[in-house]
Structure 1
Amino acid sequence: MSLLVHHLWYGKDPAARLFRALLLGPSALYRSIAAGRLLAYRSGLISITRPGIPVISVGNLSVGGTGKTPLCAWIASYCVTRGITPGVILRGYGGDEARVHRILVPQARVVESPDRAAGVLRALEEGAEVAILDDGFQRLDLARDLNVVLVSAESRHAAPWTVPAGPWREPFKALSRADFLVVTRRSAPASEAALVAERGIGLLGAERVGQVCLAISRLEPLGGGQSVDPEELAGRRVLAVCGIGDPVSFRAQLASFEARVELMARRDHHSYNSRDAGRICAIAPQFDYVVVTLKDSWKLAGYLDGMREKVLVAHQEIRWEGGLDDFRRCLEGTLAGVAESEVRIRDL
């Protein structure tokens, strides 16, 4: 989301509050349509596709980055360690997230398709034994064996309304459809994540709620070479460039290393062009480093050839802070269906 939208949804000033109040009507309409859609699927008025392999959905309740892609990659990597070939199915926005998945888990079959059911079938044809849906909670047309939902600790301070008056696709009570809640945090303190987790426990129970920290683990030069320890950013001037769902948290993550950070944010999945590159190159001499996300790095690489040594790519990792054993049990229960699905496929 853009910084303006972030301010309008999270801001406490009179202008932001007025903006939200003016959009409460459209917000109520959106919520009614979503509820009607859910009822249509539950009543059987709209059919649900049931593929021949286990399906794990990773989704969220809000607009903006909550860490779906890192968690999908974590699950895919877990499958690989179990000798199971994962398929990662995503809508596809210019190929940025698909490329990230291929980098993080080369063994995965990554399929981009707005039609998720068709995407799962394609992944199956390519050898996938389990399907992982990146951003699948609202995709009610596809049956799933494990429904994982992410809620960020940072979203606790957002307006409580559904879009467009707030960032929520569905109200918090929609978590009752989930099998497991993962509370994520980037810049929020662990105490904030614990408060969100407590709310989730009230709906799902303690054994179905986990907490993770999405942390910058290393910085790699865009042109290749030795990684830079994030701690080396301390006291340095850093230009953070990103086109992601939560640019504010990206800035806060870099600032946590005591860097002096200036943010150049674009909308999520932004396609960079020569004009963007010109702006970056014009102000880059004022900074010690330019730090970009992995998702943005390949889109910027062709434009920043002359300053590859100065541009660092931030790599994020998931650090579990609670609920890992419970989450593994849920995964194992789902992956046990891989052998059963192989029998069904052979019988077709």
Structure 2
Amino acid sequence: MRAPAFWSNPPRAPGWQARLLAPLSWLWAAVAARRLARGARVRVGVPVICVGNITVGGSGKTPAVIALVERLRARRRVPHVISRGYGGRLEGPLQVEERRHTAEDVGDEPLLIAPFAPVWIGADRAASAVAAVAAGAEVLVMDDGFQNAGLAQDLAIVVVDAGFGFGNGRVLPAGPLREPVASGLARAGLVLAIGPAPARESFARDWPEAARLPLVGAEIRPLRTGMDWGDVRALAFAGIGRPEKFFATLREEGAEIVATRSFDDHATYDPRLLSRLRAEAKALGAQLVTTEKDAVRLPPAVRAEVLPLPVRLGFADPAPLDAALDRLGL
């Protein structure tokens, strides 16, 4: 699904479409609240940190999970990650094996995270948590699942794209929210706002209810690999929540982008589509370039022809996060 343009409207002027869809939003919010209220909230004996969001679409959650895992490891803890495994065909709970599993098996995000920590996928997050603890996990990082009531969360981190914020402030389908901002932030322990400093400052002004929580700023930056993107004439494609952010980053790195192609989040790249992309790149004399998340969904033979742009998240001031980890005894 491609996000409608009116989702980006300011809350004071959400658009006629949002007002028309308001009754469906009320129903969605009521169902979400009831599901959360009836959850079992299982505890598994180790701290559980949820990295989730209130909005749908790309907020930078996967780089945030990786950054948190690395911070926990620096504290000499043994983190395991549990994930729904969205887009994968295997039910789980099972541990992701990079050399054996594909994105079709376990989803793209678990494959991206697996080099940094053991990852367990499964629809039943409580069952995955039990398996992870049995395998030696000292702390669990839950990738998404903020609205999942099956597992108790000791710290909930709400990840926000600072430039987008909470969009028009309306719940699906009238806006991009999975639940109302107020109810979501009431369960959160920390807000992670990702974007340049001016965007983070604007987010804090526009959404004071989020700024009342401990607020951590961060930016997603390209990983320095020695690659000179200034020499690249690129046909850039992406199937992520907000492809335009990837294209902007690639331009900032100096690449000459001669064409862009946007696809739905978690898009499946079938042979016909890949053949068309390869032919178009050849006709333009361009190199195919994509995100790490898209690259893991490509067949190995095609992946060898495509340049991925690796990124990592850097914290502007991690003190509030470190304080929260200290309170958990981590």
| Shift in alpha-carbon separation, 1:11–1:277, aligned structure 2, 3 A | farther
Cα shift at 1:22: 3.4
In structure 2, the residue matched to 1:288 is: 286
In structure 2, the residue matched to 1:228 is: 227
In structure 2, the residue matched to 1:346 is: none
2:322 is the counterpart of 1:328: yes
Question: CA-to-partner distance for each residue in 1:51-93, whole Å, 9 max, x for gaps?
Answer: 1111001111100011111111111112222222111001002
Contact kept? 2:55, 2:166, Cα under 8 Å:
no
2:288 is the counterpart of 1:278: no
2:135 is the counterpart of 1:123: no
Say which of 241, 248, 266 aligns to 1:269: 266
Say which of 98, 102, 106 aligns to 2:110: 98
Deviates more, 1:50-59 or 1:245-254: 245-254
**1:1-348 alignment runs, 5 A limit:** 1-2=1-2, 5-10=3-8, 17-38=15-36, 40-41=37-38, 46-93=39-86, 94=88, 95-103=107-115, 105=116, 108-156=117-165, 158-173=167-182, 174-185=184-195, 189-198=196-205, 202=209, 205=212, 208-218=214-224, 227-230=226-229, 232=230, 237-261=233-257, 262-285=259-282, 286-304=284-302, 308=305, 311-322=306-317, 324-336=318-330
Deviates more, 1:271-280 or 1:156-165: 156-165
In structure 1, the residue matched to 2:92 is: none
TM-score (norm: length of structure 2): 0.84
d(CA) in 1 for partners of 2:181, 2:295:
34
What is the RMSD computed on CA atoms of the aligned residues? Answer: 2.4
| Shift in alpha-carbon separation, 1:287–1:253, aligned structure 2, 3 A | farther
d(CA) in 1 for partners of 2:312, 2:297:
21
Contact kept? 1:58, 1:133, Cα under 8 Å:
yes
d(CA) in 1 for partners of 2:156, 2:24:
28
Tell me the SS of whatever aligns to 1:299: coil
* Equivalences, count: 305
Contact kept? 2:120, 2:128, Cα under 8 Å:
yes
TM-score (norm: length of structure 1): 0.80
Q: Which amino acid is the alignment partner of residue 194 of structure 1?
A: E
- Show structure 1 runs of 5+ residues with no match: 220-226, 337-348
| Shift in alpha-carbon separation, 1:297–1:203, aligned structure 2, 3 A | closer
Tell me the SS of whatever aligns to 2:265: coil
What percentage of aligned pairs have identical amino acids? 33
In proportion to residue count, which structure has more helix? 1
